[in-house]
């Protein structure tokens, strides 16, 4: 009986997961019936300039960033009576290169990254890691939601912000922070994580996504850290292919490619929605919403077959 179940499990993997690609590539998933939906929010979203939607848990406020030439500003919009207000610059944004807002699963705080000076009177952050020229740097800042309003932005501190380019935060329910940092020695972008204990962040460690010689970008972790969505590798004109990895004990499983229907748009900037089963991401043609249910079901089925075997 065990041999029969093992054989069925092998067939399942071949049909629904595919074969492990060469080192540095993601597992190919064919076919998965998932169709992304365009997100316009009643026409307030500009497909050619806006990205990285971050909703409050009640779904009635959204933050996102808008590009204007070489500048980026975080905007905010509120929904009332089923209609979204015209977005405007968030009170904390507009002067500096601000982007990638994300709200904690419980809605108690917001993180974003910015090139703004760490100390009053100092110069904005810069880095020259990627384009052979000086570009805006990035550190992570925090705002708390207290008594119905957001506090002033506060620098997240040197444990996390120990480089002029610390980028794209993602928050788990227990406060664990995932973020990006450039590995100058390996010349790749790595995803790092830092646990939050007793009111402070612990020393970051590499999250362990995929091959350490391959860049990862824009992590979007599930609140319970059961899965993580991210860009993996490098493609022409983009950051990589959008993938998902599942937690396997004390480590992440191999990256699973989300397929050509999603990756043909060169996606980036994913966030997990409040339902824990949907992501919002940005592509060349605009912002999209994608249900992860087919991949979550596939993973649950594979776990069931493994335990039966």
Question: Contact at 8 Å (CB) between 8 and 237?
Answer: no
- What secondary structure letter does DSSP report for 264? T
Q: Sign (positive/negative) of CA torsion 245, 247, 250, 254?
A: negative
* Within-domain flag for 222: yes
* Within-domain flag for 111: yes
* Within-domain flag for 206: yes
Helix axes 2-12, 293-308, angle to 10 degrees: 160
Q: Which residues of the chain have pLDDT under 50?
A: 1-23
* Within-domain flag for 70: no
Length of the chain: 309
Residue 227 domain boundaries: 21-50+105-297
pLDDT of the residue at 22? 38
pLDDT of the residue at 29? 57
* Within-domain flag for 79: no
* Within-domain flag for 154: yes
* Within-domain flag for 271: yes
pLDDT of the residue at 77? 98
The number of distinct structural domains making up the chain is: 1
* Within-domain flag for 64: no
The Cα–Cα gap between 40 and 30 comes to 29
Whether the predicted model's global pTM rises above the 0.85 cut: yes
DSSP state letters, 119-140: STTSPPPEE-SSSSS-EE-BEE
DSSP state letters, 32-87: -----EE--GGGT--TTTEEEEEE-TTSSEEEEEEEETTEEEEEEEEEETTEEPPP
pLDDT of the residue at 97? 97
CATH of the domain at 125: 2.115.10
């Amino acid at each position: 009986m065990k041999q029969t179940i093992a054989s069925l499990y092998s067939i399942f993997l071949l049909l629904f997961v595919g074969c492990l690609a060469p080192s540095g590539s993601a597992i190919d998933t064919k076919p998965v019936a998932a169709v992304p939906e365009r997100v316009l929010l009643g026409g307030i979203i500009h497909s050619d300039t806006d990205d990285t939607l971050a909703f409050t848990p009640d779904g009635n406020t959204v933050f996102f960033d808008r590009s204007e030439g070489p500048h980026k500003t975080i905007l905010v919009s509120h929904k009332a009576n089923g209609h979204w207000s015209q977005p405007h610059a968030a009170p904390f944004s507009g002067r500096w290169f601000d982007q990638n807002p994300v709200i904690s699963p419980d809605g108690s705080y917001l993180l974003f990254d910015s090139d703004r000076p760490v100390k009053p009177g100092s110069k904005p952050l810069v880095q020259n890691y990627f384009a052979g020229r000086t570009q805006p740097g990035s550190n992570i800042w925090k705002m708390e939601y207290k008594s119905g309003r957001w506090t002033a932005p506060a620098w997240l501190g040197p444990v996390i912000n120990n480089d002029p380019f610390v980028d794209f935060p993602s928050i788990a329910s227990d406060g664990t922070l995932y973020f990006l940092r450039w590995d100058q020695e390996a010349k790749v972008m790595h995803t790092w994580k830092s646990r939050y204990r007793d009111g402070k962040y612990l020393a970051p460690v590499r999250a362990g996504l995929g091959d350490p010689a391959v860049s990862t970008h824009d992590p979007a972790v599930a609140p319970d850290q059961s899965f993580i969505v991210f860009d993996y590798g490098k493609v022409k004109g983009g950051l990589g292919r959008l993938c998902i990895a599942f937690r396997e004990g004390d480590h992440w499983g191999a990256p699973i490619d989300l397929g050509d229907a999603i990756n043909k748009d060169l996606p980036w900037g994913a966030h997990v929605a409040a339902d824990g089963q949907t992501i919002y991401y940005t592509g060349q043609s605009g912002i999209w919403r994608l249900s992860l249910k087919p991949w979550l079901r596939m993973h649950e089925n594979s776990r069931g077959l493994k335990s039966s075997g």
